[in-house]
């Protein structure tokens, strides 16, 4: 009896896919859940698996565009003999277990056999990491192919367009990698397999003392899986320097390489270079002549960078974006900071920055002009009675926007603590999906990089974003006199479809008033 294989539903908005390639060919024998083809939509690539064992008969050709539910192939009966083959090693394994008590010396020899058997192999697939995430990038293998892993040990790092995740081993055994670093994988795709069980690695230390004293010395020096493993931020720094992580000593928990370790690794990395050059000095005699040649370097765009690019272009194309400007006299806030910053830090353990004042001013202005914090959902406008403020942070892997929850209920000290916490997690690549979703309004500070004026792009599906810029002393007219004041340009980009000019300008003026008279933030007037 044959079974039809159809294009499965792969997303709510996806109506058709392209058959990009056949992994198994017509007439091949396939096993249950074995990948037989790759399907490609406008958003991601998916693997098509066999729903039973048998002989594959292909119906669609590579390059065909198929609707959801279309027949791709069929599987004819003929795979019944394969389970019998898989059962044989299991029987042999049972026999080995029965003979284990009487012959301990043979246990170590028989241990590799069950590890290689397909019956004891566990497939490791890309887990679901967020409702809107359909694919991830395999950024780095923490454990290499053929290495022994323990239960719940981190074996790889997966990177989505929003955050970095660790993939852990679901059982102990020997790792076999099936995907390469840099591969873009859909949710549910096969990444690796683990052969054997937790008993196999445990049997090796028991046999080691009888084998040789040198083996016991190696066991005693064993480190944890985190030893020598860099954090995402540290890995990026080491990659940019061209430094191998194996030569860097980690000072973090369980020997993990921290960002500081990677920064300090620059000097040791520079010392081997002169030693290597004399050894090869005879061959590259033409190297000095090539020093002035023009060159180019190509890098594959990260998943985060590609997603950011798509969203920014989509916002420009799908919204009626407009920007209004104003300027703020920062002298009142600067006076408050200079007067109370030491006492503030002593009491709250965090510095008093500008971001807390701007966040507080924005939350107060949103209460008066709720449309600025609204969003369009289909043919409806959604208004929020809370303020979740997104803060744009420049992280090593690209721009991320973590969210300060219920910012309207927080004090200046609580906002500052949350800003510091989110910024540190962003730069270390440890932000979770829940920390970057659901904002109602965004603040971005280009002034830290020296920007005088810009038109920030809306962070969809939000409808407005406030841009801060650098503070410059300029002559301004105050009460009929020209005085020098620290001034900052502020910009509000907004979606003109739901925010009118009156609302946007009034909102920005209200923010200006609150910043130029900080006591209003405390009195709520």
Q: Which of 337, 359, 360, 363 is nearest to 350 (CA)?
A: 337
**Res. 232 pLDDT band, cuts 50 70 90:** low
The answer on pLDDT for 323 being more than 90 is yes
> Which is nearest to 503 in space by CA: 316, 309, 370?
370
pLDDT surpassing 50 at residue 110: no
Contacts (Cβ under 8 Å, ≥6 apart) of 151:
169, 170, 171, 172, 198
- pLDDT at residue number 92: 43
Q: Give the position of tokens 């074996």.
A: 155
303-523 matches 103-213 in CATH topology = no
Token pair 């000019």 in the structure block, residue:
501
Structure token pair of residue 417: 């603590």
Per the annotation, the verdict on 348 as an active-site residue is no
pLDDT above 90 covers a percentage of the chain that reads 27
- pLDDT, position 205: 43
Structure tokens at 1: 């009896």
pLDDT of residue 201: 43
Looking at 145, 254, 342, 496, which residue is catalytic?
Answer: 496
Q: Is the pLDDT of residue 259 over 80?
A: no
Taking domain 103-213, whether its CATH number is 2.40.50.100 is answered by yes
Exposed (0-12), middle (13-18) or buried (19+): which is 409, by Cβ within 10 Å? Answer: exposed
Beta bridge partners of 487: 329, 472
**Between 243 and 354, the higher pLDDT residue:** 354
CATH ID of 3-79, from 3.90.700.10, 3.30.360.10, 3.40.630.30, 2.40.50.100: 2.40.50.100
Q: How confident is the model at residue 415 (pLDDT cuts 50, 70, 90)?
A: very high
Output the pTM of the full model. 0.50
| pLDDT band at residue 12 using 50, 70 and 90 as cut-offs | low
Q: What is the CATH number of domain 232-274?
A: 4.10.320
Kindly tell me if the per-residue pLDDT of 513 is higher than 90.
Answer: yes
The region of weakest confidence among 18-27, 131-140, 382-391, 413-422 is 131-140
Which range among 114-123, 130-139, 324-333 has the greatest average pLDDT? 324-333
- The residues spanned by each domain of the chain are 3-79, 103-213, 232-274, 303-523
CATH superfamily of 303-523: Chloramphenicol acetyltransferase-like domain (3.30.559.10)
Q: Which long-range contacts (CB under 8 A, 24 or more apart) does 33-41 make?
A: 33/123, 35/190, 36/5, 36/73, 37/72, 37/73, 39/7, 39/10, 39/66, 41/10, 41/11, 41/14, 41/16, 41/17
CA atoms in the 13 A half-sphere facing the CB of 480: 0
Task: Give the distance, in angstroms, between the CA of residue 52 and the centroid of all CA atoms in the same chain.
Answer: 35
Cis peptide, bond prior to residue 327, ω within 30 of zero: no
From start to end of 131-249, where are the E strands? 135-141, 148-149, 154-159, 164-168, 173-177, 184-186, 190-195
Q: What's the pLDDT at 11?
A: 61
Q: In angstroms, rounded to a whole number, what is the distance separating the alpha carbons of residues 8 and 43?
A: 15
Whether the Cβ atoms of residue 98 and residue 164 lie closer than 8 Å to each other = no
Answer whether residue 282 shows pLDDT above 70: no
Task: Select which of 26, 408, 500, 517 is catalytic.
Answer: 500
Mean pLDDT of the chain: 77
Q: Is the pLDDT of residue 414 over 90?
A: yes
pLDDT at 254: 62
Range 109-113 average pLDDT: 39
Rounded CA-CA distance 283/272 in Å is 18
166/198: higher pLDDT: 166
């Amino acid at each position: 009896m044959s079974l039809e294989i159809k294009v499965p539903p792969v997303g709510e908005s996806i109506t058709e896919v392209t058959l990009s390639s056949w992994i198994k060919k017509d007439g091949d024998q396939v096993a249950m859940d074995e990948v037989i083809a790759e399907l490609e939509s406008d958003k991601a690539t998916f693997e098509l698996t066999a729903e039973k064992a048998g002989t594959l008969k292909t119906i669609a050709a590579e390059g065909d565009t198929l609707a959801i539910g279309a027949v791709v192939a069929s599987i004819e009966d003929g795979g019944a003999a394969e389970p019998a083959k898989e059962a044989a090693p299991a029987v042999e394994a049972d026999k080995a277990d029965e003979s284990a008590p009487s012959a301990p010396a043979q246990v170590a020899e028989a241990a590799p056999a069950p590890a290689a058997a397909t019956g004891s192999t566990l497939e490791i697939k890309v887990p679901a990491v967020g409702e809107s995430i359909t694919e991830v990038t395999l950024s780095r293998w923490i454990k290499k192919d053929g290495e022994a892993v323990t239960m719940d040990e981190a074996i790889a790092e997966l990177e989505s367009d929003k955050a970095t995740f660790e993939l852990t081993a679901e059982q102990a055994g020997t790792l076999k990698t099936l995907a390469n670093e840099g591969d873009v994988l859909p949710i549910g795709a096969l990444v690796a397999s683990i052969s054997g069980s937790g008993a196999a690695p445990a049997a090796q230390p028991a046999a080691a003392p009888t084998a040789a004293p040198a083996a016991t010395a190696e066991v005693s020096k064993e480190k944890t899986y985190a030893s020598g493993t860099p954090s995402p931020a540290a890995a990026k720094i080491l990659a940019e320097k061209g430094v191998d992580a194996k030569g860097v000593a980690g000072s973090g928990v369980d020997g993990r390489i921290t960002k500081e370790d990677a920064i300090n690794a620059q000097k040791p990395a520079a010392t081997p270079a002169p030693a290597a050059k004399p050894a090869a000095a005879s061959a590259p005699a033409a190297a000095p002549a090539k020093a002035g040649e023009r060159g180019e370097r190509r890098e594959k765009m990260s998943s985060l960078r590609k997603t950011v690019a798509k969203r920014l272009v989509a916002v420009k194309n799908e919204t009626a974006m407009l920007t209004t400007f104003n300027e703020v006299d920062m002298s009142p806030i600067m006076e408050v900071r200079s007067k109370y910053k030491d006492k503030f830090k002593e009491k709250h353990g965090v510095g008093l920055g500008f971001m807390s004042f701007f966040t507080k001013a924005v939350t107060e202005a949103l209460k008066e002009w709720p449309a600025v914090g609204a969003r369009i959902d289909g043919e409806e406008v959604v208004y929020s009675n809370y303020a979740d403020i997104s803060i744009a942070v420049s992280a090593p892997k690209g721009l991320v926007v973590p969210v300060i929850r219920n910012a309207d209920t927080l004090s200046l000290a609580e906002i500052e603590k949350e800003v510091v916490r989110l910024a540190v997690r962003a730069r270390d690549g440890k932000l979770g999906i829940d920390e970057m979703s659901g904002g109602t309004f965004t603040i971005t500070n280009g002034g830290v990089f020296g920007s005088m004026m810009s038109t920030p792009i809306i962070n969809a599906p939000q409808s407005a974003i406030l841009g801060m810029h650098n503070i410059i002393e300029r002559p301004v007219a105050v009460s009929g006199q020209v005085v020098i004041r620290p001034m900052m340009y502020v910009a509000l980009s907004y979606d003109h479809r739901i925010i009118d000019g009156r609302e946007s300008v009034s909102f920005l003026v209200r923010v200006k008033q609150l910043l130029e008279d900080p006591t209003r933030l405390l009195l709520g007037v």
